[in-house]
Amino acid sequence: MKVHKLAGIDIGSNSVRLLVSNVIESEDKVLYKKSSLTRLPIRLGPDAFSTGRISDENVNRLVTGMAAYRKIMEVHGVEKYRACATSALREAKNGIQVVEKIYRETGVNIELITGKEEARMIFSSDMIGDVAEAHETFLYIDVGGGSTELTLFHKGEIQNSRSFKIGTIRLLKDLVKKKRWDEMKDWIQEISDSFDEVLMVGSGGNINRTFKLAQKQKGEMMSLKGLKTIRETILEYDDDARMIAFDLNPDRTDVLPHALKIYTNAMKWAGSENMIVPKKGLADGIVRFLFRAHYQ
């Protein structure tokens, strides 16, 4: 039996996550056990989507965060890591300069990945295989701060995939025009029309938190009706009251209603009555991708 220490860093629009995993390799199976998960509330989206540049303040916070992550990985004895940045850093005019500065000052190498590459990473998290065994057709949706990634699976194969610039930070800043919503609606309806039943599979920190709020157990589904009810309930509170009432972090409380708007609209347009929430994301996918690339 071999144990590998691998890490994935997910630099999103709303936060930055470091996942350190023990990958246990035996003769007949591979187990992925979370060793440490650290989340930093560095919100890059408002900079990137409003001004087109990451501010000096957030660049410095990101440098400090990556230096800390480097130390955490050293303490854990991480063998290999991969750091991936999504829409905010990718779209920022100074994104390349920020990546270069972080590498010079911390030694952490960050990759700017596309929406399709992000989806491919997440799909490597073994989550898709489990869902595909039980459901013939499903629409995978990952809602981030800057974009929403959608991929339709049928009989275990990708049928269609697309990224839309509709995310929680963009909605928070009122940066999404009706045209964007119409594009997403038309695309979802078009790809779903050929199938009698489409299950929704949700990914992202906001849907994971909603799953917990709904007091669901692993493997249970969330209904479209239930998600709408939760959204209506939390909208009865302002941000401060919502944070206390639902035990939310400050950087979650203002974006959660926007995330649920995206999820519920997508479900409605796909004709999906239920959603599965595997609670796996980009960092999980990175770890599994690293193992397959270097040890299998």
Q: Is the pLDDT of residue 132 over 60?
A: no
Q: Are residues 74 and 177 in the same domain?
A: no
Q: Are residues 237 and 203 in the same domain?
A: yes
Q: Are residues 203 and 235 in the same domain?
A: yes
Q: Is residue 215 part of a domain?
A: yes
Q: Is residue 157 part of a domain?
A: yes
pLDDT, mean of residues 86-103:
96
Q: Residue 25 belongs to what domain range?
A: 2-116+283-295
Q: Is residue 134 part of a domain?
A: yes
Q: Is residue 201 part of a domain?
A: yes
Q: pTM for this structure?
A: 0.88
CATH code for position 181: 3.30.420.150
Q: Are residues 153 and 289 in the same domain?
A: no
pLDDT, mean of residues 94-114:
97
Mean pLDDT for the chain overall: 92
- Digit-coded pLDDT (tens) for 153-182: 888 788 898 999 999 999 999 999 999 999
d(CA 227, CA 229): 5
**What percent of the chain shows pLDDT beyond 70?**
96
What pLDDT is recorded for position 123?
67
Q: Give the count of domains, the chain.
A: 2
Q: Are residues 273 and 291 in the same domain?
A: no
pLDDT, mean of residues 212-228:
92
Q: Is residue 121 part of a domain?
A: no
**Reported confidence tier of residue 37, pLDDT bands at 50, 70, 90:** very high
Q: Is residue 223 part of a domain?
A: yes
CATH code for position 38: 3.30.420.40
Q: Are residues 134 and 218 in the same domain?
A: yes
Q: Are residues 97 and 145 in the same domain?
A: no
**Reported confidence tier of residue 145, pLDDT bands at 50, 70, 90:** very high
> Would you state the structure tokens that stand for residue 33, as one six-digit string?
């056990």
Q: Are residues 46 and 90 in the same domain?
A: yes
Q: H/E/C letters for each residue in the chain?
A: CEEEEEEEEEECCCCEEEEEEEEEECCCCEEEEEEEEEEECCCCHHHHHHHCCCCHHHHHHHHHHHHHHHHHHHHHCCCEEEEEECHHHHHCCCHHHHHHHHHHHHCCCEEECCHHHHHHHHHCCCHHHHHHHHCCEEEEEEECCCCEEEEEEECCEEEEEEEECCCHHHHHCCCCCHHHHHHHHHHHHHHHCCCCCCEEEEECHHHHHHHHHCCCCCCCEEEHHHHHHHHHHHCCCCHHHHHHHCCCCHHHHCCHHHHHHHHHHHHHHHCCCEEECCCCCHHHHHHHHHHHHHHC
Q: Is the pLDDT of residue 127 over 60?
A: no
d(CA 258, CA 174): 11
d(CA 173, CA 170): 5
* Contact assessment for residue 134 and residue 154, using Cβ atoms and an 8 Å cutoff: no
Q: Is residue 31 part of a domain?
A: yes
Q: Are residues 87 and 60 in the same domain?
A: yes
Q: Are residues 214 and 140 in the same domain?
A: yes
**What percent of the chain shows pLDDT beyond 90?**
78
Compute the residue count for the chain.
296
Least confident of 27-31, 100-104, 284-288: 27-31
d(CA 149, CA 139): 10
Q: Is the pLDDT of residue 93 over 90?
A: yes
- Digit-coded pLDDT (tens) for 234-260: 999 999 999 999 999 999 999 999 999
Closest CA relative to residue 171, chosen from 95, 252, 43, 262: 262
d(CA 89, CA 53): 9
What pLDDT is recorded for position 112?
96
Q: Are residues 52 and 133 in the same domain?
A: no
Q: Is the pLDDT of residue 263 over 90?
A: yes
Q: Is residue 269 part of a domain?
A: yes
**Reported confidence tier of residue 133, pLDDT bands at 50, 70, 90:** low
What pLDDT is recorded for position 154?
87
Q: Are residues 13 and 155 in the same domain?
A: no
